[in-house]
Chain A
Amino acid sequence: MSYVTGSVYSSEHMFAFSTKRPALSDDIRAAIRPVTLAKTKTLPVGEPWRSLLPDGGLRRGATVGVQSPAGWGGVSVALSLLSEASAKGHWSAVVGVDDPGVVAIADLGLDLRRVLFVPRPRGAWAESAADLVDGVDLLIVRPPSRPAHAAARKLMDRVRERGTVLIALTEPSAPWPLPVEVSLDVTNTQWVASSRLESRSLTVRVGGRGAAGRGAERVVVVPDRRGRAVAS
């Protein structure tokens, strides 16, 4: 082992906790303060949602409630909210959606290389979701039954703290027990079909605490002929 002496390797430069630290520039400081990050950053969404959501995107730390009767397009709506951010390279996870059809998900525009699926978390949906909050930027959760108040509260707090976006997918018979930032309720579904299923128009009522057009109903086409979500 060689012994290094001399001015270049002085004790001052040997340790990371040297007291002589250069001042950080303002933008770096903003980026490393997580609380600010969670409040200011929004994740992008695709066109049909951009005009509907209050900030034109998904605010980090927020919970979006998607409510739809079974088979009326709730899964498509929830997944289509992820597509833009996923395509930009953000990781997402889908908890509690049994046997997701990967072709449909790819058609919606998600990058399948950055999606984790937890199809059957059994009784551990809340714990699974909590684990994933640390790892992904967007999280779809479909509770298997009516979610407990405490579990929902805990998850929403954790999401707010970490700056993840939670999309709670529920049915009207078992609604999300807490108020959410944005709620998207599917109130009507209409398929266009000729020799095969072609596209589906969903009537979506926008609500929630911070929503711009509260109570407004919009028609969104998902999936369209090419499997994507578009504004009608």
Chain B
Amino acid sequence: MERLLALWIEELAVEKADGSSLRSLVAVLDALVSVCPFVEPVRLGLITMPMRGPSRFFGGDEAVMAAVAAAVRDVTGHEVNLGVAEGLFCAELAARQRTVVPAGGTSLFRRVQPLATLGHKELTMTARRLGLVTVGEFAELAPARVAERFSRTVQVLHRVARGELHELPSQRDKQLLTRLRTARGEDVRAEEQMGFFGQRSASDDRAQAAAHRLRHRLGVDGVLVADVRGGRSPDDRATLVPWGAPRPPARDNAPWPGQLGSPAPTTSFRCPVRVEVLDEHDAPVRLGVRGAMTGTPSVLLLERGVRRRITWCAGPWLLVEQWWTAPRRRAHAQVLLETGEAMLVTTEGGQWWLTGMYD
């Protein structure tokens, strides 16, 4: 079972009428994606991320926790309770107790917890009468005896206590992802309206009229405008959408996760072009299992057999999609050609694509 770092932010755990908890959570997630792309919101106030990768990257658990605590403090001004343990159930308990459970110690940690941590009042009362106080004592009951005596809910809790399940059914807010998406969307709509309608000027009207004429001439996809969803950080989610079209709901494929940083390509192909990347022996370069390339890219084969020598190459940067998408394994690389052009190529599933140009 993987070790999880859990973040418990008490101030954000309560739903506020103005939606500020939700917005703060969005901001925290955005900030944490730079620490670890696999950040996962569990419910209001509770966030988890895997510990292994970031710990290796930052050089130890303490360094990761310091970075995370600083990020949360910067964004929300609240203190965060951090804890590390295996599985969501124990990770949350560890965070509430500000404990780092060493690798392999989770089972012991779980067994000494008071039974109330399973969050079932009736069970706690009944078990106390039986003389069972801790999770471990409850876990020692035979599953058959529990089944005889308790409801199905308690049977599930029993499996959690035994370490067969790693989270309580009540721990996760299943609506949270959808709500976070809406929170992102609404935030921007309010901002746009200020620009477009709040101080609408004559020049705005003129531009709209020209766009209207042009759409008539070229069709719906003829005129595009940038959809600056995400407001303060257009880096990751700004895309082009047809002018005047209804805004689509939050998209799932962020076209440009801002992980490479500036400068960004001036051309970002909507339909990437298939290319070949070869090493000095003309063998295709692939992305190895450990995230390194199998050879040094030396030749870029473009469409129609155009062959360009690569004079410099950087990457690969593994591109891990963010928490709202299904996992895909892709990597970016920047190449500089002998002709002076700089390009961004992306590999996925053994195939290379030209995704951007720095023109």
Contacts and interface: CB of A to CB of B under 8 A. Distances in A.
Please indicate whether A and B come from the same complex rather than being unrelated chains.
Answer: yes
Interface of A: 69-76, 79, 89-91, 93, 97-107, 112-119, 121-122, 124, 127-128, 131-132, 134-137, 189, 191, 193, 195-200, 223-227
A116 B225 CA distance: 5
B342 interface: yes
A103 B238 CA distance: 7
Interface of B: 192, 195-196, 201, 203-204, 206-211, 213-214, 217-218, 222-226, 228, 234-235, 238-240, 243, 256, 258, 260-270, 312, 314-315, 334, 336-337, 339-343, 356-359
A89 B199 CA distance: 11
12 contacts: A90-B203, A99-B268, A99-B269, A100-B266, A100-B267, A103-B268, A105-B226, A118-B222, A191-B336, A191-B340, A191-B342, A223-B358
Contact of A135 (B211, B256, B358): B211
A116 B260 contact: no
A143 B267 CA distance: 16
A129 to B, nearest CB: 10
A134 B206 contact: yes
A124 B217 contact: yes
Query: Which residue of A106, A121, A135, A189 has the most chain B CB atoms within 10 A of its CB atom?
Result: A135
Q: Which DSSP category, helix, strand, loop or mixed, fits chain B's interface?
A: mixed
Nearest to A74: B359
A98 B266 CA distance: 10
Nearest to A107: B262
Nearest to A110: B226
Contacts of A69: 340
A196 B196 CA distance: 37
Max chain B C-beta neighbours (<10 A), residue from A93, A136, A197? A197
Contact of A121 (B222, B234, B263, B341): B222
Nearest to B256: A103
A115 B267 contact: no
Contacts of B268: 99-104
Contacts of B203: 89-91, 137
A113 B314 CA distance: 33
Nearest to B228: A112
A74 B211 CA distance: 25
Contacts of A223: 262-263, 358
B359 to A, nearest CB: 4
Contact of B264 (A93, A107, A119, A199): A107
